[in-house]
Structure 1
Amino acid sequence: MSFSPYKVYTQYRPDIAHFTPFSERIYTLTHSDQTGDLFLTVSKELAFDQTNEMRDEVFGWWSLQQPNTSVVFQGSVLVGTNAFPETQQDIRYQIFMREMGTALKGIFYGERWLVEMNPFLSEAPVWIQFNSNLAKYRGNVYFGKVKDYM
């Protein structure tokens, strides 16, 4: 799926205001397979009410790393559990790897003003945790820096 800014819809929950610090913002990105639309929910908590039985959402948040207090953008996806056969997990893993760039563009486009107002965020490394009961689909994967998706 290619990225189109016209297909990104951002919803800010009542607990988020324009001045809410980046470190308190949590992102839930879902999508429509039929339209290619991306739906970004920004809140102080994960928006599980926006997920579906496919569990193909991407969660993300900003994290301050100690001791030098650098900022990292961290995320997570669910590749599978014991309830997912290995063949299905393999397909999910490949799709997440292929489409992660589009998902990250959607998140950072939806909050582009935040990065523009805090330029140091553009230098933040992006790490996505792939969660699976199978070791070959589990791990923390580096996806470059935020500026690569702006």
Structure 2
Amino acid sequence: MPEFQPDKLTVKFMPPTTPCLPVDGRKYTLTHSDETGALYLAIGTEYDCSALNVKLRDEVMANWDASLGQYLLTVNVYVDGVENEYAQAKARYTIFRKNLNLAITAIINGDKEFYCFFPWLVDCPIYVQFQSSFHEFNQRIFYGTPRYYWLD
């Protein structure tokens, strides 16, 4: 897995979202450039659909929500891609699993100021939902807490 390089991360806030608000429904859209290794994080109340490549569908999307009285960060990835073929889904699942720590690190560190306003969120759970029509890849996996991905 490549190491996170903060200088390769570009962050944009989509109004009305700010570095401190909102918490409920705060959404992240993380995309990247295969050529440069640059990462692009959009933070808003909606996903940044303009940043999505509908042919590749290799973005990572996440959102903060309350569930049973506790906040959690849910990360979503689309395993099947456009072709919806088993071999492709298996390869994409493997790639996502290999690179998710980098993606989550980018999301957490790209929104670091947010945690200054809500420090208790650094100990909330992160769940990754691998979305697939193939049962073995359609999984929800616990990925720790934001504290695990925090860089000083």
TM-score > 0.5 by shorter chain: yes
Moved more, 80-89 or 107-116: 80-89
SS of 2:77 mapped into structure 1:
strand
SS of 1:107 mapped into structure 2:
helix
- Please say if residues 80 and 133 of structure 2, whose CA atoms lie closer than 8 Å, have aligned partners that are also in contact: yes
Superposed CA RMSD in Å reads: 1.4
| Residue deviations 1:92-149 (CA, integer Å, cap 9, x gap) | 0001101000000100111001112211010011101101110011011111111110
Alignment correspondent of 1:133: 133
Q: Could you tell me the TM-score, scaled by structure 2's length?
A: 0.92
- CA positional deviation for 1:37: 0.9
Which 5+ residue runs of structure 1 have no aligned equivalent?
none
- Distance of 1:81 and 1:39 partners within structure 2: 20
Higher helix share: 1
- CA positional deviation for 1:82: 7.6
Overall identity of the aligned pairs, in %: 28
Alignment correspondent of 1:72: 72
- Distance of 2:147 and 2:34 partners within structure 1: 27
- Distance of 1:81 and 1:88 partners within structure 2: 8
- Distance of 1:4 and 1:82 partners within structure 2: 30
Q: Compared with structure 1, are the counterparts of its residues 135 and 44 closer, same or farther at alpha carbon in structure 2 (3 Å cutoff)?
A: same
Read off the aligned partner of 1:64 and give its amino acid letter. A
The alignment covers a number of residue pairs equal to: 148
